């Protein structure tokens, strides 16, 4: 059988054609999905490219598909909402086979399954530059509104949900998006601001502080570091997909006792900057995490 767009659509419908998620009236198989929600929803989008986000010839289509969806779910986790549904556009390179397609769908299903996420549509193209996965996810809030980056206040406590650094050793393909932790931090911890750590603690901390109009003081000894990495890697490497959250002080003990997160610092006034204290003293944290660079001098 020839593997082409029509055959891939058949595989999609076989795998995801009858979503059971509440509010999904019509999923894959028509010109558009039909969704119903009585409340505002969160939407996020991220693309994954062969050679940038994964190397398909090394990790395989299953791992690529899993990561492409999981890193979008990490964005929903950072908003403290529950995943609802997704649209996935796939660009297949020349030479792709039905075996590759099935492996890709296995990866999407692996990422979607724990959250009862419905895949309700997307698109399929030929990609002349390698495997491309463009994902859009939608999430629904629970008992509290979505968490933004902009709510941190002076005196709040900064926490992270897990170890950082050295993700390129394999974690960047195998991580579990911290959806449940995000919900707990929002609903039980009354999170004031939150962001997922995709580009490294140094960059993402600066983003949260800039959005909230505050500074931050990090305790270097408290930062959890992944085995094989070091503190500088925890600050700069990126693709950890843990959560950084500003909590009101009265919520911190419960979140730590329940092992949802660990304390790493404090929110301070913007004039105090973004700093880290180690055995060598206090120094500024540069915005030096991962950044896509496009070339050109302008």
Phi, psi angles (nearest 5°) of residue 281 = 110, -165
Confidence at residue 219, expressed as pLDDT on a 0 to 100 scale? 98
Phi, psi angles (nearest 5°) of residue 118 = -95, 130
In the three-class reduction of DSSP (H, G, I as helix; E, B as strand; rest coil), residue 189 is classed as coil
Show the CA angle centred on residue 133, arms to residues 129 and 137, nearest 5°.
160
Confidence at residue 175, expressed as pLDDT on a 0 to 100 scale? 97
Predicted TM-score of the model (pTM): 0.92
Q: Would you say 89 and 133 are in contact if contact means Cβ atoms under 8 Å apart?
A: yes
Pair of tokens at residue 194? 């939150």
Q: What is the DSSP letter of 146?
A: P
Q: How far is residue 160 from each of residues 29, 56, 114, 166, 205, measured CA to CA in Å?
A: 40, 30, 22, 16, 11
Confidence at residue 262, expressed as pLDDT on a 0 to 100 scale? 98
Confidence at residue 16, expressed as pLDDT on a 0 to 100 scale? 79
Confidence at residue 291, expressed as pLDDT on a 0 to 100 scale? 65
User: What domains lie within the chain, and their CATH numbers?
Assistant: 5-140 (3.30.1330.10), 157-284 (3.90.650.10)
In the three-class reduction of DSSP (H, G, I as helix; E, B as strand; rest coil), residue 123 is classed as strand
Residue pLDDT tens, the chain, 298 long: 567 788 888 887 887 776 667 888 887 878 888 888 888 899 999 999 999 999 999 999 999 999 999 999 999 999 999 999 999 999 999 999 999 999 999 999 999 999 999 999 989 999 998 999 999 999 999 899 999 999 999 999 999 999 999 999 999 999 999 999 999 999 999 999 999 999 999 999 999 999 999 999 999 999 999 999 999 999 999 999 999 999 999 999 999 999 999 999 999 999 999 999 999 999 999 987 666 555 665 5
Q: How far apart are CA 144 and CA 103, in angstroms?
A: 37
Pair of tokens at residue 76? 């929903």
Confidence at residue 30, expressed as pLDDT on a 0 to 100 scale? 80
């Amino acid at each position: 059988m020839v593997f082409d767009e029509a055959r891939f659509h058949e595989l999609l419908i076989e795998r995801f054609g009858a979503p059971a998620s509440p509010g999904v009236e019509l999923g894959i198989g028509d010109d558009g999905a039909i969704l119903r929600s009585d409340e505002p929803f969160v939407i996020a989008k991220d693309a994954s490219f062969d050679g940038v986000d994964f190397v398909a010839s090394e990790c395989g289509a299953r791992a690529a598909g899993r990561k492409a969806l999981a890193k979008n779910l990490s964005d929903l986790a950072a908003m403290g909402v529950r995943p609802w549904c997704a649209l996935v556009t796939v660009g297949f390179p020349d030479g792709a086979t039905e075996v590759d397609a099935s492996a890709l769908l296995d990866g999407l299903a692996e990422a979607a399954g724990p959250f009862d996420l419905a895949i309700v549509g997307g698109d399929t193209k030929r990609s002349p530059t390698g495997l491309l996965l463009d994902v859009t996810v939608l999430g629904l809030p629970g008992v509290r509104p979505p968490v933004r980056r902009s709510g941190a206040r002076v005196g709040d406590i900064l926490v992270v949900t897990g170890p950082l650094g050295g993700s390129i050793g394999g974690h960047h393909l195998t991580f579990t998006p911290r959806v449940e932790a995000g919900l707990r931090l929002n609903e039980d911890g009354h999170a004031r601001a939150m962001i997922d750590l995709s580009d490294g603690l140094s960059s993402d901390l600066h983003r949260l502080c800039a959005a909230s109009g505050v500074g931050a003081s990090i305790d270097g000894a408290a930062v959890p570091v992944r085995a094989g990495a070091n503190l500088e890697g925890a600050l700069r490497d990126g693709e950890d997909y843990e959560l950084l959250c500003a909590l009101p002080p009265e919520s911190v003990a419960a979140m730590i006792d329940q092992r949802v997160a660990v304390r790493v610092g404090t929110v301070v006034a913007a004039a105090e900057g973004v700093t880290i204290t180690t055995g060598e003293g206090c120094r500024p944290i540069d915005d030096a995490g991962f950044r896509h660079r496009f070339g050109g001098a302008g």
